[in-house]
Structure 1
Amino acid sequence: MNSPTPDLPLTAEQETAQTKNGYLALVSRLMLEDKLPIRFLYKTVPEHLNDTGWRMFTGYETPEFLENEQINLVPIPLERICEMDPSLTELVQYNAGTVWERTPEAEGWERVYDFRIPAPTVEVDITNDVDRFAQQREGS
């Protein structure tokens, strides 16, 4: 298998060659309720078998809005989103780590390279205290 060298960009085939799993994307509630267009999307590593990894936003989400993912990001079949906005059809073929945006004045989508995709946070309580560890185990 040929792997790209650091000097050469990936080919379109390499950028879309990941195994495709899942069928759901998480989409901003603003798109559904306020009928705003998708203007920013990225693909993260899927969190479960039904998840494609795609996260789609209008660009009007506040940090407070984004903190409450359970309420404000709605799982929707990717196929349905692409029917609503056919310009997404080609973009959603790309691999995890891909980010796209379209500004209101732009003709189409532009690839983004300087956005850091957020990673899910997992709270873990680590201890080296044997007694505290035993208490934690008893409590669970």
Structure 2
Amino acid sequence: MNIFAQALQTALDRCIATKTVTDEGRPVGFLYREAPVFEHDSGWRFFTGEESDEYTDNPDNFTVCSISDITKNNPDITALLTRPEGSAWELDEDGGFQAVADWQPRD
């Protein structure tokens, strides 16, 4: 796929992110990919990694947006976006992302 086609696909693909990432502009510190649940859903979910269970239990604290909205302020995650469903990544203490092997989404 050429660069233009990749950019277009990323712009059209949607994701779900916490409002701490989208509205407050805080950096992504945890991300995972699950099976898509709506049209154009990439399956990617983005968090700062500091949200409480109480925060994430409230659907009003999430928004649907384009992946390009997220990568604009978090370019380091772009290389991870080709990873398959079931992938999870977290920011390590050195500022890089490491795979999270033992993580499972909550039902």
Distance 1:83 1:34 in 2: 14
Which protein has the bigger strand share?
2
* Corresponding residue for residue 83 of structure 1: 72
Q: Could you tell me the TM-score, scaled by structure 1's length?
A: 0.64
Amino acid corresponding to residue 115 of structure 1 in structure 2: W
Q: Which runs of 5+ in 2 are unaligned?
A: 1-8
Structure showing greater relative contact order (alpha-carbon pairs closer than 8 Å, 6 or more residues apart): 2
> 1:1-140 counterparts in 2 under 5 A?
23-69=13-59, 71-103=60-92, 105-119=93-107
Larger radius of gyration: 1
Aligned pair count reads: 98
Over 6 Å off, 4+ runs = none
Q: Which runs of 5+ in 1 are unaligned?
A: 1-19, 120-140
Q: Could you tell me the TM-score, scaled by structure 2's length?
A: 0.82
**Cα distance change, pair 34–80 in 1 and its aligned pair in 2 (3 A):** closer
More deviation, 94-103/79-88? 79-88
